[in-house]
Amino acid sequence: MSKKPNEMTITEAARALRLPACRQARLTVRELWDACANTAKEKNPELNAYLEIFDADEIAIISAQERIDAGEESLLCGIPLAVKDNILIEGKIASAASKMLENYRATYDATVIAKLKAAGALFIGRTNMDEFAMGSSTEHSAFGMTKNPHDTSRVPGGSSGGSAAAVAGDTVIAALGSDTGGSIRQPAALTGLVGLKPTYGAVSRSGLIAMGSSLDQIGPLTKTVEDARIVYETIKGSDPMDSTTIPEDLYPACEVHQKLRIGIPRHLLNESVTAEVQSAFDETLTKLESAGHTLVDIELPTSSHALAAYYVIMPAEASTNLARLDGMRYGHAARGETLLADYLQSRTEGFGEETRRRILLGTFVLSSGYIDAYYRKADASRAVLRREYAQAFAQVDVIAFPTTLAPAFKFGEKSDPISMYLEDIFTVTANLTGMPAISVPMGAVERPSTSLGTGETKQLPIGFHITAPHQAENVLFAAAAEVEKVHSS
């Protein structure tokens, strides 16, 4: 049976949109939009992937069709995309899934949105997320949780869980997320998608609601590695609106070897990795080896401290970024008896529990007397991590480990914050070092489902995580395509 338009990848949809008019399989931009928008409306009451599904933008649809008919080359022309609710689209609400910004309407386009609009892409809606991108399950949204389309009794991961569920639920062709500590890669892994966190500075953060400014990057969640490459190529580039963006050639170019040397830090894969994830990972490695790639054991001793460093740096940066949301300048504004009461009330009512926890943690680690012990130490560890990775990259092209310890968990299972933070154990290092990283599907694990009768099981996807040197996205895509290949054969 042929695929429905909403089930297609970017490449497939782009091809179908370009078939000669006489062919039956030819797709129009309108048909593609309708297939996605109708499926999104049908599934959203169950999935809660979208906070808002936009009305069709007739002018954009017609102009995309005209461009395709006139020979437009951008494969994103006419393709519907979903956008995480912390990325600004002019005229639309961008709430970061917080009560604080519930009614905040963006006055300009994020640079990535402007680039995608220029390529002719269409936007189907804004997706649910953990409030201000703090979390790994989308349970911290102020607007209800999102369900994993593979098993609706489980989380889709987070914080870009809405974007992941939207794509995995076949309600849209691809989506944008943001990744500060794993928020693109972990939900991609838990929903069977490809998720890319680009090199820090490769993609503009202008128009992304900031969480951890030295860690945040926007990136794609897609059905294939090729689709991730297409979105990345369109959104990347230095930007005068973001002074942390980098020129294309800031780092030395990395050659793509046909036969890859894959570094495995086996010492990190201890008993905390579930047996099924470990065996799926080992199986993938064996297949890669049979395909002619070389496996190399490497040591990354400081990586075991990365999670602790991340949970000092990220709250520190988030606490300063969120200080502007004070009931005076933006967002929810409550009025008390005094100015201080205005601040307290606005922030207490506007922010959810996890956000408040991180603001407290962040202001603590930055406070005089503690800044040296916590923030400066954590910050110093970034240079050590970068050095260790650089040393490893002298011997290998890429570094691989599983994206998560286990498949998607059940709602409420990680109500203890520390257990939730452990979800990010493998993903945070790429944000601390600024290196690009990707999660690619590596099969599924069978687990009982509580949403069905007893004895029924569901296949839960898991991910293979690859890190490459700064600006070596070309190497990353090549390695990811190899993993995709061994899993499809």
Binding site for ligand GLN (CB under 6 A): 133-136, 159, 178-183, 211, 314, 424
Nearest to 166 by CA among 6, 406, 2: 6
Buried b (16+ CB within 10 A) or exposed e, 202-216: bbbbbbbbbbbebbb
Please, what is the minimum distance in Å from the beta carbon of residue 139 to ligand GLN?
11
Minimum distance of ligand GLN from residue 177's CB (angstroms): 8
Return the number of the residue (76 or 425) whose C-beta is nearest ligand GLN.
Answer: 425
Q: Whose Cβ is closer to ligand GLN: residue 289's or residue 353's? A: 353
Which one from 95, 98, 137, 183 is the annotated catalytic residue? 183
Whether residue 148 contacts residue 72, with contact meaning beta carbons closer than 8 Å, is answered with no
Identify the CA nearest to 313 among candidates 388, 212, 383, 389: 212
**Ordered DSSP codes for 298-347:** ---GGGGGHHHHHHHHHHHHHHHHGGG-SSSSSS-----SSHHHHHHHHH
Does 489 qualify as catalytic in the annotation?
A: no
Instruction: Give residues with Cβ within 8 angstroms of 305, minimum separation 6.
Output: 381
Supply the DSSP symbol for 259.
S
Let me know if 160 is a catalytic residue: no
> How many other C-beta atoms can be found within 10 angstroms of the C-beta atom of residue 259?
10
Selecting among 159, 160, 381, 449, the annotated active-site residue is: 159
DSSP string, 73-138: --TTTT-EEEEETTB--TTSB--TT-GGGTT-B-SS--HHHHHHHHTT-EEEEEE--SGGG--SSS
Nearest approach, Cβ of 212 to ligand GLN (angstroms)?
8
Query: Least distance in Å: CB of 211 to ligand GLN?
Result: 6
Nearest distance, CB of residue 62 and ligand GLN, angstroms = 36
Comparison of 68 and 194: residue with beta carbon closer to ligand GLN:
194
Residue nearest to ligand GLN (CB): 183
Four-point Cα dihedral 227, 185, 178, 314, nearest 10: -160
Helix (H, G, I), strand (E, B) or coil at 395: coil
Q: Is 41 a catalytic residue?
A: no
| Inter-residue contact 485 to 263 (CB < 8 Å) | no
**In the complex with ligand GLN, which residue's Cβ is closer, 13 or 134?**
134
Q: Look up tokens 């009025």; give the residue.
A: 335
Nearer to ligand GLN, 231 or 307 (CB): 307
> At its nearest, how many Å lie between ligand GLN and the CB of residue 157?
9
> Of 208 and 475, which has the nearer Cβ to ligand GLN?
208
- The kind and range of the H/E element at 362 are helix 353-366
Q: What residues are labeled active site?
A: 84, 159, 183
